[in-house]
């Protein structure tokens, strides 16, 4: 359970409390987001050492997308992975 998106989402306060509130890439303090260095789907963990703070601009550059709509993009990515047969988190209703 520890390395699921659900666990990560339910413990966001922990990460924000323990990480510096500025982008580790450019130092910005605007539109900050949490980012897994090694994605969960690739074996990454929710350990504090695998999570960094990025501004939306730097986060978007890493993923190659605009991150203004991060939540919608995340949902689309999960749906796409599931449609390709990858098991991501738990299916709704499971």
Q: What is the pTM of this model?
A: 0.69
Interval 63-88 mean pLDDT: 68
Residue 54 has pLDDT above 90, yes or no: yes
Least confident of 4-8, 15-19, 33-37, 75-79: 75-79
Q: What is the mean pLDDT of residues 21-50?
A: 94
Rg for the chain (alpha carbons), in Å? 14
Neighbours of 67 (CB within 10 A): 21
- Please identify which residue in the block is written with the tokens 């993009």: 73
- SS3 state at 8: helix
Residue 43 tokens, joined:
């074996």
Structure confidence at residue 69 as a pLDDT band (50, 70, 90): low
The DSSP symbol for 42 reads G
- Between 1 and 64, the higher pLDDT residue: 64
């Amino acid at each position: 359970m520890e390395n699921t998106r659900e666990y990560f989402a339910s413990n966001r306060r922990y990460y924000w409390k323990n990480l510096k509130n500025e982008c580790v890439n450019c130092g910005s303090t605007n539109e900050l987001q949490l980012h897994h260095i090694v994605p969960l789907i690739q074996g990454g963990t929710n350990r504090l050492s695998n999570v960094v703070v990025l501004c939306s601009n730097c986060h978007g550059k890493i993923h190659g997308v605009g991150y203004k709509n991060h939540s919608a993009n995340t949902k689309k990515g999960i749906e796409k992975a599931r449609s390709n047969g990858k098991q991501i988190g738990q299916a709704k209703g499971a």
